[in-house]
Amino acid sequence: MGRVEDMQDPLIAAEVWLAEGRAVALATVVETWGSAPRPVGSHLVIDSEGNFFGSVSGGCVEGAVIEEASEVIASGQPRLLEFGVADETAWRVGLSCGGRIRVQLERIGE
């Protein structure tokens, strides 16, 4: 079981990054259907340079989330993203057996 105190925790990492003056977005798995590699509640944090920490799928879906993150950081508007069987990247990451995930992506702001 992960300890909150270490840096092995995306939410702690997000705070450390903010303290360093970096702009940060937070992605969270909010729903899964079928077999999904990461459980609901999993976090990924992304900064405006595209650095990231954590995981929402364990693979290629991260790339798409990171791309969207720069826009969310710029606009401050949250987004709900869905990846499913019809999605090519999701297919490759192993969500092919009927799996779908929904990810919320939001900026950490003042």
Rule CB under 8 A: choose which of 58, 80, 92, 98 binds other proteins.
Answer: 80
In Å, what is the CA distance from 46 to each residue of 41, 62, 84, 99? 16, 10, 22, 24
What distance in Å separates the CA atoms of residue 42 and residue 58, rounded to the nearest whole number? 10
What distance in Å separates the CA atoms of residue 4 and residue 23, rounded to the nearest whole number? 22
Instruction: State yes or no: residue 64 binds other proteins (CB under 8 A).
Output: no
**CB of 47 within 8 A of CB of 62?**
no
CB of 96 to other proteins, least distance (A): 24
Q: Which stretch binds other proteins (CB under 8 A): 24-32, 49-57, 62-70, 85-93?
A: 24-32
The enclosing H or E element of 21 equals none
Q: Which stretch binds other proteins (CB under 8 A): 46-54, 57-65, 85-93, 101-109?
A: 101-109
The residue ranges that bind other proteins (CB under 8 A) are 1-5, 11-12, 14-15, 18, 26, 28, 30-31, 40-41, 77-80, 104-110
